[in-house]
Amino acid sequence: MADINTFIQAVKLPVMPEVAQALIRTLTDDDADVVTVRDIIAKDPALTTTLLRMANSALFGLSRSVTTLDNAVSVVGMAQIRARALGICMSQVFKLPDGINRLEFWRYSMVSAGYSKFLAHQLKLDEQQAWLTATMLRLGELLVALHTPAVIADLEAKPCEPGERWAREQRLVGHHEGEITGEIARRWDFPDEVVHALTHCAAPLAAAAPSKLCAVVHLGALWADQSKTLAEVQAAIAASPQDVMNFLGLDAQQLIDTAPDPEQFSDISALLH
């Protein structure tokens, strides 16, 4: 297997905007509060506008509209606004190459993130951290497209069973997308638990110290693969790897009965501006 650093050095990483870099720093800053996060976001009027549009979309189902960033942070919550802001920033700096359907790519990312957040809620984990980690997961494939564009057609070929893209990436490039995104996250100073979860997402229990966040993102990604309807998601839940389910203490039937429809997570309009 080629060294991950050698792989990363062969491509030009996108430059994150200053506002995103500042938001990343708050993820590990215990002193960062609502005012800190609000002030960082407010420095970028375009990002603020996009967040307000998102907050007022059906995705959040708010009973009243929010017209200011202060309102959005107050109603939606600092952690969620920060996570969504970072998601928007990353969608803007990572350009999708030919061969990858933009709508399908971001829909998958949002559905994967939505189910990861759903699982985190069940397990009383940090829901926004799970959402953000899952949102980032597939960015590694975009680096693969820059590094070895000739393999994209094979990676995106249909049919593609849940988890099969990871195996294809490993075979064709030597690294799966999570490992690549994990290295990017490490270089951008994301929290260690996010880096670990991304790096080991394809085989969460094979890590030296398995984490619940990693297992949650693994399942969320598997459920998002080829899951256009709730019935397909329910089938994916039933087929979830039992060792991962046992590690998390999850009951498949209970999840089948309570899993939201994927359409609840698939509003990607804010990521397409």
Helices 212-224, 102-123: axis angle to 10 degrees equals 140
pLDDT for res 272: 53
Least confident interval from 58-62, 112-116, 180-184, 221-225: 58-62
3-class secondary structure for the chain?
Answer: CCCHHHHHHCCCCCCCCHHHHHHHHHCCCCCCCHHHHHHHHHCCHHHHHHHHHHHCCCCCCCCCCCCCHHHHHHHHCHHHHHHHHHHHHHHHHCCCCCCCCHHHHHHHHHHHHHHHHHHHHHHCCCHHHHHHHHHHHCHHHHHHHHHCHHHHHHHHCCCCCCCHHHHHHHHHHCCCHHHHHHHHHHHCCCCHHHHHHHHCCCCHHHCCCCCHHHHHHHHHHHHHCCCCCHHHHHHHHHCCCHHHHHHHCCCHHHHHHHCCCHHHCCCCHHHCC
pLDDT of residue 194: 97
In tens, the pLDDT along 201-260 reads 999 999 999 999 999 999 999 999 978 899 999 999 999 999 999 999 999 999 999 999
**Alpha-carbon torsion 211, 124, 131, 42, what sign?**
negative
Question: Using 50, 70 and 90 to split pLDDT, how confident is the model at 268?
Answer: low
Q: Compute the distance between CA of residue 269 and CA of residue 53 in angstroms, rounded to an integer.
A: 9
pLDDT per residue as tens digits for the range 48-104 = 998 888 888 776 777 778 888 988 888 888 888 999 899 888 888 888 888 898 888
What separation in angstroms does the CA of 169 have from each of 68, 152, 197?
Answer: 43, 9, 18
Would you state the structure tokens that stand for residue 177, as one six-digit string?
């997308």
Residue 2 confidence (pLDDT) above 90: no
CA distance 26 to 31: 8
Name the band, by pLDDT with cuts 50, 70 and 90, for residue 42.
Answer: very high
First CA to last CA across the chain, in angstroms?
38
Which is more confidently placed, 120 or 61?
120
pLDDT at 12: 83
Q: Which position has the token pair 């959005």?
A: 72
Taking residues 129-147, report their average pLDDT: 93
Looking from the CA of 82 toward its CB, the CA atoms found within 13 Å total 25
